[in-house]
Structure 1
Amino acid sequence: MAGTRAAFFYGIVSAICYSGANICLRRATHLDPVWVSQLKSIPLIVVLGSVLLWRASQGQQVGVGLRTIGAICVAGLFGQLGGNILFQWALGVVGIALAVPVTTGSQIISSAIMGHVFLGDRAGKQLGGAAVALIAAITVLAFGAERAGNAVQAADTTTLATWSHVLLGICAACVSGASYSVLGVTLRHHTKQGAPITTTLFIIGLVGFCSLGSIVFARFGTELWHTTQWQDYAVLGAAGLFNVVAFATLTVALRVASVLFVNALSASQIAIAAISGVLLFHEPWTYTLSIGVVLTVLGLFLMRPRGTEAPAKPVHSHDSN
């Protein structure tokens, strides 16, 4: 009972913090997506770097092989360039209420497929049903995306979003989810081989800061460091800290929680994203959004394994970079 209560507590904290990170990112859609993604990685590097230094001073293993470093770096580029940047851009096109469920649906489908192909995960009938539900969710959400896109654009400009622009936003969210899956599957493989999760996440953060920083410098030089308002720095710093706390608490929860519990957490994040989009950012609540959220939650629960569920391993969520 104590373990269940602990898992519930840490799981709720994790879901709230992941949602808090997404809300902060939604508030930063007026900034360049690459710049946002670079700044968001700083708290992860600082916190995990400090943890690694402490563990090394205690004689604990923190190093990994060159082969693992290379694989994590490549996967990190997928997660940063294809995941974080596109997710941030999608937030500014279709809003948080649509971007989060679409990204989550895409990530769940592609993670299941990649896990089956590359890690030998079992793929039962549930996978087919979940895939149908999630694809249907993305399709339904896409039909209602133009109204959401218009609401997002109206908040920043006087122009309305075109259908092609909104469709690109939906596609960006889908590609973002698939990119996060590449990163997640790679992380699962190497952590199963004994690579410390703290080290792998630190490498990902460092790869993100350096690669994204190179892009920002090539485009803007050092201009953004001087022109970005302190309020924006605070929001993005909060987003990064939310991610760190969320992943830490999720890792604790998953030591005793099941896959079903993980999916329930994901479902709660989708609901929070939809509610926050409507209440905080005045995004429209439509019947397509309602149906899409329900279908996404259904797809997540259909992913549960049959029989007795073992505690789940930590997986890399779309907002933990």
Structure 2
Amino acid sequence: MFVLGPLVGWLSIRPTATHPSSADRSRSGFRRLPQFILASFLAQFFGNAGFQKALERIGLAASVPITLGALIVGGAILGAVLLKEPVGRRKVIAMITLIVAVVVLSLPDQPVTEPITANAETNPTGTPTLPGPTLPGPIDLVVGSLWAAVSGLAYAFFGVSMRQTLQTGLPARNLMLISGVTGSVALWGFCFATLGTATITSTSPSQWMLMATAGCLNFSAFVAITTALRLLPVVAVNLINASQVAMAGVAGVILFDEPITTRLAFGIALTFVGLIILARRTRAPIVITD
């Protein structure tokens, strides 16, 4: 918002030549703005907040595949209904392959157990009993899964609305600014209403710096995905976006010396296979005539 606001303001007052066709497309784009503002609110509020609630209930390993699965499938359905973008057999196979890859990459390598302590319970033989991993209960599992699905569907609706509005000719920078303002008003208002001013002002400078850094990175990612939505169908963008899980695994190996496990290698291989299927073009048949 702080970056795009001055840019959009300067470009809006700069004189440019207008054409009748571009004016008609702009009017069509303005009619799409209410839907886009709603989609921005859902993505910024329910998409982000829903994923956070899912993390609280069921953890990262379950939240990521459910969210990305809902994003991919929901984006394909909404793209076919609202944008008339066909979903052929090749894309369906790529969707299934990448969803399986996300699930594999999200699985933990081994169950996490707490270390033995002096207060550890003992069995009748006198040996300490290790407490097992804390698993979500049935209610947490259902509620957390629903939150993750809501998050993915909110992102899917936002992606489709973004591409639909971009096709009317409205500049991408304007839509990014609208989305940023919508999210800032909604999330800041919610934080002030639930946390209060005292809690927000007690945030340390280092925490503000981390959030500012994360915001810059998020802005870069937002620019990239908006550009992709201008050029590619929603299904393709969401499928390529799902490869971030494999990228995180590779980054862990390179940056943090994490071990290359069979699960990691298999998940990355599945990701490559899914992307290759998505990028593969069907050649037209060669017809030989006399």
TM-score of the superposition, structure 2-length normalised? 0.68
Residue correspondence of structure 1 range 166-177 to structure 2 within 5 A? 172-177=147-152
Kindly tell me: are residues 278 and 189 of structure 1, through their superposed partners in 2, closer, same or farther at Cα, counting changes over 3 Å? same
- Pairs within 5 Å for 1:189-200: 189-200=164-175
Deviations 1:79-137 (A, max 9, x none): 11221223345566634x77556544442332222211210112211122123324434
Tell me which residue corresponds to 2:117: none
Instruction: Find the counterpart in structure 2 of residue 55 from structure 1.
Output: 11
Contact 1:259/1:304 (<8 A) preserved:
no
Give, in whole Å, the separation in 1 of the partners of 2:59 and 2:94.
24
Structure 2 residue corresponding to 1:113, chosen from 45, 57, 77: 77
Q: Of residues 190, 195, 203 in structure 2, which corresponds to 1:220?
A: 195
Q: Distance in 2 between matches of 1:116 and 1:219?
A: 39
> Per the alignment, do residues 286 and 106 of structure 1 end up closer, same or farther by CA in structure 2, a change over 3 Å counting?
farther
SS class of match (1:75): helix
Aligned: 1:131 with 2:106: no
Q: Normalized per residue, which structure has more helix? A: 1
Q: Which amino acid aligns with 1:192?
A: Q
Q: Which amino acid aligns with 1:86?
A: G
Match of 1:37 in 2: none
1:122 is aligned to 2:90? no
C-alpha distance in 2, partners of 1:105/1:223? Answer: 39
Gapped regions of structure 2 (runs ≥ 5): 19-25, 115-130, 284-290
Residue identity matched to 1:210 = V
Aligned counterpart, 1:179: 154
Q: Superposition RMSD on alpha carbons, in Å?
A: 4.3
Q: Does 1:73 align with 2:37?
A: yes
Pairing partner for 2:2 from 46, 52, 62: 46
The one-letter amino acid of 1:162's match is L
Shift of 1:193: 0.8
Q: Deviations over 1:189-216 (max 9, x none)?
A: 1110112111111111111111112221
Alignment correspondent of 2:126: none
Against the structure 1 CA distance between its residues 194 and 259, is the aligned structure 2 distance closer, same or farther, given a 3 Å change threshold?
Answer: closer
- Mark the CA change 1:66 to 1:255 in structure 2 (over 3 Å): closer, same or farther: closer
- Change over 3 Å in CA distance of 1:122–1:48 after alignment to 2: same
1:241 to 202, 216, 237: 216
Deviations 1:33-63 (A, max 9, x none): xxxxxxxxxxxx11111111110121359x8
- Alpha carbons 2:75, 2:234 under 8 Å: kept: no
Which aligned pairs between 1:1-321 and structure 2 lie closer than 5 A? Answer: 45-59=1-15, 67-90=31-54, 94-95=59-60, 103-137=67-101, 140=104, 144=107, 160-164=133-137, 165=140, 172-248=147-223, 266=241, 269-276=244-251, 287-288=262-263, 290-304=265-279, 306-307=281-282
User: In the superposition, relative to structure 1, how do residues 161 and 51 fare at CA in structure 2: closer, same or farther (>3 Å)?
Assistant: farther
Larger Rg over CA atoms: 2
Q: 3-state DSSP class of the match of 1:205?
A: helix
For the 8 Å contact 1:260–1:304, the answer to whether it is kept is no
Report the residue type matching 2:50 in the other structure.
L
Once the 2 structures are TM-superposed, how far is the Cα of residue 228 of structure 1 from its aligned partner?
Answer: 1.4
Which one has more relative contact order, counting CA pairs under 8 Å at least 6 apart? 1
Normalised to the residue count of structure 1, the TM-score between the two structures is 0.62
Aligned pairs, how many?
Answer: 256
Q: 1:222 deviation in Å?
A: 1.2
- CA distance in structure 2 between the aligned counterparts of 1:259 and 1:216, rounded to whole angstroms: 32
